[in-house]
Amino acid sequence: MHSNVNTLFDNLWSNYLTVTPSAEKIHDLLGSTQKDDIINDHIALRTFNIEKVGLEKLAAHFLAIGYKECGEYHFEAKKLYAKHYEHSDPNQPKVFISELLVEKCSPELQAIVTDMVSQIDESAVTADNFLYSGTHWKVSTDTYKQLLAESEYAAWMSAWGYRANHFTVNINTLAKFNNIHDVNQALKDAGFVLNTSGGEVKGSPEVLLEQSSTLADDYAVTFSDGDMSIPSCFYEFAIRYPKADGELYTGFVAASADKIFESTNAR
């Protein structure tokens, strides 16, 4: 397990950039000349609710470096369950971990996922690099498409495995922008495509959180039977509003997160 928060996030970021080339360009676009005004609000990780790799196994890596469990979320239609974690230092990124409720899926999907997970070495799950270790299996393009027909989430996991599904720019700390609409406009003007599911802006000041995101980059994956370009990871943007006590809201809004998941849908 990592002893250092910054090292872990540096490694997650480097790994994320390898399949999300647009993130570097967006970083340059939104940041001021100093670049230190781009603060990561949160990352998200995906997994399956199979004990060997369940949400809690991923969370253990964060609990070991000062994170604590804060909220839980249910996504009935997508058959997902999630929790979010916050560090004792509020300047550290929040972490959102979701898992697919495999038993609620078809027997075919269950068989594929069980087979994938069986190929993961038990020791790999507790290794320092597990959260950015990618896939521990090979699937065919046909298997990927079969999963995709039932669960985009399962298909994404089969291709990309363990890595940050997205990073999130904290709009509150940007020097050049002070609202989400200007950020979205700057992204569109620069040619980036936004996720419009549920609207370009998900959430509102009333629910204390507004979010938007790009559509995932297309990136080539080497499947067992050849290469295919599919959606990889995306970049999210979030602005948080103060609660009644004046402190910024630090949680997540399930209705908005539900639509953010769709940033990895094919264009």
| The predicted structure's pLDDT at residue 35 | 60
> Rounded to whole angstroms, how far apart are CA atoms 221 and 160?
8
> Rounded to whole angstroms, how far apart are CA atoms 261 and 85?
18
SS3 letters for 20-57? CHHHHHHHHHHCCCCCCCCCECEEEEEEECCHHHCHHH
> Rounded to whole angstroms, how far apart are CA atoms 259 and 215?
11
**Which pTM was predicted?**
0.96
The CA distances from residue 79 to 28, 48, 105, 113, 215, in Å, are 36, 11, 8, 14, 22
pLDDT tens digits, the chain, 267 residues: what are they? 556 999 999 999 999 999 999 999 999 999 876 667 899 999 999 999 999 999 999 999 999 999 999 999 999 999 999 999 999 999 999 999 999 999 999 999 999 999 999 999 999 999 999 999 999 999 999 999 999 999 999 999 999 999 999 999 999 999 999 999 999 999 999 999 999 999 999 999 999 999 999 999 999 999 999 999 999 999 999 999 999 999 999 999 999 999 999 999 988
